[in-house]
Amino acid sequence: MSQENTSSIIVVGKLGAPYGIKGWLKVHSFTDDPVGIFDFSPWLIGQQGKWQSLEVVDWRRHNKGFIAKFAQVNDRDEAMAYTHAEISMDAAHLPELPQGEFYWRDLIGMSVVTDKGYSLGIVDDLMETGSNDVLVVKANSKDAFGQAERLIPFLTDSVIKEVKYDAREITVDWDPGF
């Protein structure tokens, strides 16, 4: 994989310290289901802007986290070289989602428009709350309601009316004054 084409790479975890003397490393998973990080291999390991492919040959739970063994790493010294490196994957390898479900990264940058046609701005980020996800919408610079940012709950049917994937637009039932 070339270093220039990193736009489709997403970070899914991080390697920790070596474990034992046979090349195992601690693994910190950032995936919704922490075990899901092991559903794909090889992993792209990133250090100082360079990416290397490592194949996971074994893994297991350890305390509150995980440890993993790679085909190319056979002792503690080799494992040390990967300490704190990012674990990534190519977005092309993400599983297809059922109709109506989206990866957060796909929603960032989409325009948000009310069902009455008012442009609320662009999705800048998403937050997870206890009850539902929330769109963080960066308002347009000349927002008529003086808003810089809006927090809109991602509640399908009641607030989120339609996600037009190809048009990169989300239609919402939302009061622009909020």
The residue extents of the domains of the chain are 7-91, 102-170
Please report, in angstroms and rounded to a whole number, the separation of the first and last CA atoms in the chain: 45
Give residue-wise pLDDT tens across range 38-49: 988 789 998 877
3-class SS at 104?
helix
| pLDDT tens digits, one per residue of 100-153 | 777 777 888 999 999 999 999 999 988 888 788 899 999 999 999 989 999 999
pLDDT band at 7 (very low <50, low <70, confident <90, very high): low
Give the Cβ contact number of residue 3 at 10 Å.
9
CA distance 176 to 11: 34
Same fold, 7-91 and 102-170: no
CATH-assigned architecture of domain 7-91: Beta Barrel (2.40)
Domain 102-170 sits in CATH 2.30.30.240 = yes
Query: Model confidence at 6, in pLDDT bands (50, 70, 90)?
Result: low
